[in-house]
Amino acid sequence: MANSSMSQNSLPIVETFHSMQGEGAWMGANAFFMRLAGCDVGCPWCDTKMSWNAQKHPQVPIADLVAQASSAKPAIVVITGGEPLMHDLTALTGQLKEQGLRVHLETSGAYPYSGSFDWVTFSPKRFKLPHPSIYSQVSELKVVIKEPLDLAWAEQNAKMLDAQVLKYLQAEWSTNISKELVMQYVLRHPAWRVSMQTHKLLGVR
């Protein structure tokens, strides 16, 4: 499934929308999102399960996606999913950059890195291990925390990254236990920051 050759001219798309980046270092930025279809990582708490089966979503020409992003005139274009690296992102990111757009990636890193990005948010999952090619590309690390085991997973991944990479812990949204785990950990480990999904607080997508 990785790096499908079909992706050169078109990509399976769940949705595109113009909003704000709700998370991480670029929180609050004017952002045009492209949610690519396809993911086999299988996180039990996934909030975008409708994206998993790429066959259920239309193939959209890359030229159309680039035209949509250009006309929105955003500060950043965010390629998210699903797991975007299931597809070869070289053509999409190359054409977005030709338009002078700043391009960000949100990925679990479960497939080989492709494309050219200005910012990479790496959210590794224990359910499908990251491909080694992601570690040299990361701008910020964001790990979802549901149980103590996830904190060890966060530290294991942080050790693979440059020291200046920003490190966030995000509580799995449905449980108070996870919020307490994140708060207590950040208070004892100042290299980490708490990540919030502020778009959900604001009631925007």
Binding positions: 20-22, 35, 39, 43, 45-48, 80, 82, 123-125
Tokens of residue 177, six digits: 């236990």
Q: Which of residues 151-190 bind ligand SF4 (CB under 6 A)?
A: none
Radius of gyration for the chain, computed over Cα atoms and rounded to the nearest angstrom: 16
Rounded least distance, CB 36 to ligand SF4, Å:
10
124 makes contact with ligand SF4 (CB under 6 A): no
Separation between Cα atoms, residue 77 and residue 184, nearest integer Å:
34
Contacting ligand SF4 within 65-94 (CB under 6 A): 81-83
Beta strands per DSSP E along the chain? 10-20, 30-36, 59-61, 76-80, 103-107, 119-122, 140-145, 166-171, 193-194
Shortest distance (Å) from residue 170 CB to ligand SF4 = 11
Residues 30-69: x/- map of binding to ligand SF4 (CB under 6 A)? ---------x-xxx--x-x--x------------------
**Smallest gap from residue 187 Cβ to ligand SF4 (A):** 26
CA distances from 68 to 17, 27, 54, 60, 183 (A): 9, 22, 21, 11, 39
